[in-house]
């Protein structure tokens, strides 16, 4: 298949953005936009310096370095037609485990004007009840006491900014591209709390010299499995060690609050606005919440791919009813956005055969996702006496998924929940179903006090165990 090469020479590009978390999403979304933009000669200072902080990033770092940081991105069309791009927007790549000082020096460099982040929802170290930064965390305490030897994203950014200030290298923007409510405000809260606890002078400098725009990001990007690598390379004809694939839909809405300048991203389809709240509410409440809603029941039914689950009429009706009946009353349409069309497109996007997203990816880290995607609207539903039948079922399915780790077909599986606390683990192990409602993920409200919700949920817990997810779901969608 034809591969679209990038329209610029790498050697003419300079890094103006430092990105932390060079995962699949960054490489399919932000790097894609920058790749298009760098074709404009006047934008050549907006290349990306990638930074990985975790030991588990070793493989992607080695693979990208082995191919000059180039990789292919396959954009999978809903019409079955794919397009393959060669992406060269990442100019440099640092792995903090190997060379922490290089990361700090780069944050301090005057040419870097923006730090972007995709460090996952759980990466912001926030309390799930208060949304406050958890200063008591062991790794945070270690970083607070050892500014020169950071290991967390907070320690690295604090020390890098300290060096930057001392060198007089000027202000900088920190742009979160994670799926969080008010991700800019949330990032500001997390970083400034850490920095204020470590160094009051630096905190003052940050207040005057760092901005944190809110942003809404959207493009479904599955994890690339070894089988995907073979499949993608066969189509592209390129022996790529780190290919990425994603859907054809893409959206990026950003608050225009860049203290040290920004790329002309509007030239490549990014929307700038003074308030992204309505966009992020729409996306988190409809797309991300529906993803979570379908993930646990579908997985337990035996599906492993989202597009397969979306061939199941019961799952589709369950998602549609959730969007139309449960969520739409709480989602004002953003300016210029047709909500009915957005919901219709979502069903199409989930069913996209060539994306074939992994349900296990959606199930990953539910403990960090529920507070952001589901709880804000569930609280409103309970307050408004809406019937929470579908959400009660989702939470009963989540309990079953975590507790039994065996699906309706009798197949065992492993869960991936990096942020479960010891208390969460004991609540999952408990045989009293209502104990599960005290999980840290649900603590923004007292679910146990919502009598109708508890009644539905406990019935679903018992029905899922005795009849299986399929039968229970069928009864719900009827």
Options 87, 104, 206, 220; binder of ligand NAD; rule CB under 6 A: 220
Query: Residue 16 or 155: which CB sits closer to ligand NAD?
Result: 155
**Shortest distance in whole angstroms from residue 191 CB to ligand NAD:** 12
Rounded (10°) CA dihedral 454, 456, 460, 463? 120
- Restricting to residues 357-416, which ones interact with ligand NAD according to CB under 6 A? none
Query: Residue 25 or 460: which CB sits closer to ligand NAD?
Result: 25
Output phi, psi for 207, to 5 deg.
Answer: -55, -40
**Shortest distance in whole angstroms from residue 151 CB to ligand NAD:** 9
Q: Give the range of 22-30, 84-92, 304-312, 335-343 binding ligand NAD by CB under 6 A.
A: 22-30
Going from the C-alpha of 135 to that of each of 38, 120, 193, 210, 372, the distances in angstroms are 40, 19, 8, 21, 20
| Binding flags for ligand NAD, 48-67, as an x/- string (CB under 6 A) | ----xxx--x----------
Options 103, 126, 153, 319; binder of ligand NAD; rule CB under 6 A: 153
- Restricting to residues 178-197, which ones interact with ligand NAD according to CB under 6 A? 178-179
Query: Residue 370 or 436: which CB sits closer to ligand NAD?
Result: 370
Question: Any residues with CB less than 8 A from the CB of 79 and at least 6 apart, and which?
Answer: none
Radius of gyration of the chain (CA): 22
- The SS3 call for residue 10 is helix
Question: Any residues with CB less than 8 A from the CB of 377 and at least 6 apart, and which?
Answer: 285, 289, 326, 327, 330
Query: Residue 64 or 391: which CB sits closer to ligand NAD?
Result: 64
Q: How many CB atoms lie within 10 A of CB 118?
A: 21
How far apart are alpha carbons 300 and 292 in whole angstroms? 13
- Restricting to residues 162-181, which ones interact with ligand NAD according to CB under 6 A? 178-179
Query: Residue 121 or 314: which CB sits closer to ligand NAD?
Result: 121
Query: Residue 121 or 240: which CB sits closer to ligand NAD?
Result: 121
Options 36, 120, 173, 186; binder of ligand NAD; rule CB under 6 A: 120
**Shortest distance in whole angstroms from residue 119 CB to ligand NAD:** 4
What are the tokens at 243? 């290919």
Options 16, 88, 123, 263; binder of ligand NAD; rule CB under 6 A: 123
Query: Residue 15 or 30: which CB sits closer to ligand NAD?
Result: 30
- CA 261: distance to chain centroid? 25
**Shortest distance in whole angstroms from residue 204 CB to ligand NAD:** 26
Question: Any residues with CB less than 8 A from the CB of 325 and at least 6 apart, and which?
Answer: none
**Shortest distance in whole angstroms from residue 420 CB to ligand NAD:** 15
23 binds ligand NAD (CB under 6 A): yes
The residue nearest ligand NAD at its CB is 23
How far apart are alpha carbons 151 and 140 in whole angstroms? 9
**Shortest distance in whole angstroms from residue 357 CB to ligand NAD:** 8
Options 38, 206, 217, 310; binder of ligand NAD; rule CB under 6 A: 217
Options 221, 273, 295, 386; binder of ligand NAD; rule CB under 6 A: 221
Going from the C-alpha of 221 to that of each of 27, 177, 283, 299, 316, the distances in angstroms are 9, 14, 15, 19, 21
Q: Residues in contact with ligand NAD, total (CB under 6 A)?
A: 22
**Shortest distance in whole angstroms from residue 168 CB to ligand NAD:** 28
119 binds ligand NAD (CB under 6 A): yes
Q: Could you tell me which of 231, 283, 298 has the C-alpha nearest to residue 253?
A: 283
Q: Could you tell me which of 285, 277, 309 has the C-alpha nearest to residue 407?
A: 309
22 binds ligand NAD (CB under 6 A): yes
How far apart are alpha carbons 221 and 331 in whole angstroms? 24
Contact 372, 288 (CB under 8 A): yes
Going from the C-alpha of 36 to that of each of 173, 195, 347, the distances in angstroms are 22, 35, 28
**Shortest distance in whole angstroms from residue 44 CB to ligand NAD:** 26
| Binding flags for ligand NAD, 296-315, as an x/- string (CB under 6 A) | --------------------
What are the tokens at 294? 């379908």
Residues that bind ligand NAD (CB under 6 A): 21-26, 52-54, 57, 118-121, 123, 153, 178-179, 217, 219-221
């Amino acid at each position: 298949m034809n591969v679209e090469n990038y329209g610029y020479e790498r050697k003419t590009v300079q890094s103006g953005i430092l990105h932390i978390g060079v995962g699949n999403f960054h490489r399919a979304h932000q790097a894609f936009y920058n790749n298009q933009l760098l074709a404009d000669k006047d934008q050549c200072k907006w290349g990306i310096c990638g930074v990985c902080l975790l030991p588990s990033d070793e493989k992607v770092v080695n693979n990208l370095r082995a191919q000059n940081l180039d990789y292919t991105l396959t954009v999978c069309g809903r019409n079955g037609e794919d397009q393959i791009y060669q992406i060269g927007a990442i100019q440099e790549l640092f792995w903090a485990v190997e060379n922490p000082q290089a990361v700090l020096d780069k944050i301090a460099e005057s040419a870097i004007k923006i730090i972007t982040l995709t460090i996952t929802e759980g990466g912001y170290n926030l309390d799930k009840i208060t949304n406050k930064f958890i200063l008591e965390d062991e790794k945070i305490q270690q970083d607070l006491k050892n500014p020169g030897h950071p290991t967390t994203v907070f320690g690295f950014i604090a020390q890098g900014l300290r060096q930057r200030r001392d060198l007089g290298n000027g202000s900088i923007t920190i742009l979160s591209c994670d799926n969080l409510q008010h991700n800019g405000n949330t990032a500001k809260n997390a970083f400034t709390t850490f920095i204020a606890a470590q160094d009051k002078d630096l905190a003052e400098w940050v207040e005057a010299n760092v901005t944190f725009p809110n942003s809404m990001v959207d493009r479904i990007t599955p994890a690339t499995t070894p089988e995907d690598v073979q499949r993608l390379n066969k189509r592209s004809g390129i022996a790529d060690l780190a290919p990425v694939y994603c859907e054809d839909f893409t959206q990026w809405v950003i608050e225009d609050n860049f203290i040290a300048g920004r790329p002309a991203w509007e030239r490549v389809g990014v929307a700038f606005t003074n308030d992204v709240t309505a966009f992020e509410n729409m996306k988190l409440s409809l797309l991300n919440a529906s993803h979570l809603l379908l993930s646990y029941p579908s997985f337990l039914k035996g599906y492993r791919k989202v597009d397969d689950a979306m061939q199941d009429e019961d799952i589709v009706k369950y998602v549609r009813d959730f969007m139309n009946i449960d969520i739409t009353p709480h989602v004002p349409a953003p300016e210029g956005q047709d909500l009915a069309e957005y919901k219709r497109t979502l069903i199409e996007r989930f069913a996209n055969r060539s994306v074939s997203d992994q349900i296990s990816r959606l199930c990953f880290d539910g403990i960090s996702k529920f507070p952001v995607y589901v709880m804000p609207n569930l609280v409103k539903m309970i307050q408004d006496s809406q019937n929470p039948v579908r959400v009660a079922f989702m939470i009963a399915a989540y309990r079953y998924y975590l507790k039994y780790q065996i699906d309706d077909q009798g197949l065992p599986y492993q869960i991936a929940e990096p942020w479960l606390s010891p208390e969460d683990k004991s609540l999952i192990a408990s045989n009293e179903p209502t104990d599960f409602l005290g999980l840290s993920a649900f603590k923004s409200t007292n679910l146990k006090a919502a009598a109708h919700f508890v009644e539905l949920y406990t019935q679903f817990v018992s029905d899922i165990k005795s009849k299986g997810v399929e039968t229970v779901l069928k009864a719900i969608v009827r």
